[in-house]
Amino acid sequence: MPYRSRPLFPSSASKLRAFGVLLMALLATPACALAANHGQRLAHTALPEQFHELRQQLLERVVQPLLQKSAPQRRPWRNADSIRLPQPAAPDGSGTALPAPPASPRASLPGDAVAGRWPEHSSSLFERYWWQILLGGALIILQGLLISALVFALRARRATLNALHDEHSQLEARVLQRTQELLAANAKLELLATTDPLTGIGNRRRMTEQIDRELDRGRRHHHPLSLLMADIDHFKNVNDQYGHEAGDRVIIAVAKALAGGVRQIDLASRFGGEEFVLLMPETPIDVAASAAERLREEIANLVVLGDKGESIRFTISIGVAAATPENLTDTPSSLVSRADKALYQAKEAGRNRVVRNG
């Protein structure tokens, strides 16, 4: 049989099996030692000896049999020197054999090589497979590092998302707070723009807007609309005799009487100076004139104290005008103008009276 050379390195399957078995042995050694000594307290110096003993037993009983089984089977070969060929006879016919050929160099090989076996290496298992072990350990360490980096990255991402969520919530809360403050400020500005600061009732702007809305609503629903314009009689004499603070108290008293003596749908406003306007929706001119007379009598009975405690009495004159649904040409200014003319007539007639236009 021809000579077959042994491969310099083991096959890939053998390498993998050997590396797997060795890795299992390395990983199982601490677990075996801990399981064998569970519940016992060992001396520090005795642990390395027990680990070494367990390791040797595991290598002898498990690893080496597996390595021998996994090693490739080789067919035995015979040394060429062992083949006995017939010796040729001498040329002279004497029958003596020719001298034997010189010894082959193979005769100097060890017995194991002659028998077809490779000599055993004296190196340990770790020395034979050190680079596979190092590579496996490096891969395990690399996997651990990658997993740790991934965990830290996920934690950092979660912390960042939580921070962004908190910041978003705070931003929404601030925006909501600013929106509420802005709405409150706008409402306050609207109130200041449509409210008389002295009396607290509506001003001329608010009254003009309300007259325009009520005219449109009266035309749609065929309801009449009445308007009362009142003026304090001889108000200049009140300011000259009792002072401007007393005059302001008189204006406030008239505003309260006009706003408190009417319905909720009615609107009272200070139109300017000592003039007041009372808007009465869904009210014909006769009913509005009766209400104006009642208000005139109520205000005539009011008493306001001056700066020195003196009693101040005063009266008002009222002009009444109305807009009917059939009159489509009425505007806020035209309705106010008719009521102002009726007021001027009441002033000309002697004051402290009610005059209606139409």
What are the catalytic residues? Answer: 274
Structure tokens at 71: 């090693």
Q: Report how far residue 269's alpha carbon sits from residue 132's, in angstroms, rounded to the nearest whole number.
A: 100
Contact call for residues 298 and 261 (beta carbons, < 8 A):
yes
Asked if 320 contacts 341 with a C-beta cutoff of 8 angstroms, the reply is no
Q: CA angle, 224 as apex, 219 and 225 as ends, to 5°?
A: 100
CB-based contacts of 285, cutoff 8 Å, min separation 6: 224, 226, 320, 321, 322, 356, 358
Secondary structure of residue 281 in the 3-state scheme: strand
Give the C-alpha distances (Å, rounded to integers) separating 73 from 64, 67, 70, 124, 158.
Answer: 16, 12, 9, 22, 58
DSSP state of 89: B
202 strand-pairing partners: 195, 269
Measured CA angle at 290 (ends 288, 292), to 5 deg: 70
Q: Which residues of 141-159 are buried (b: 16+ CB within 10 A; e: fewer)?
A: eeeeeeeeeeeeeeeeeee
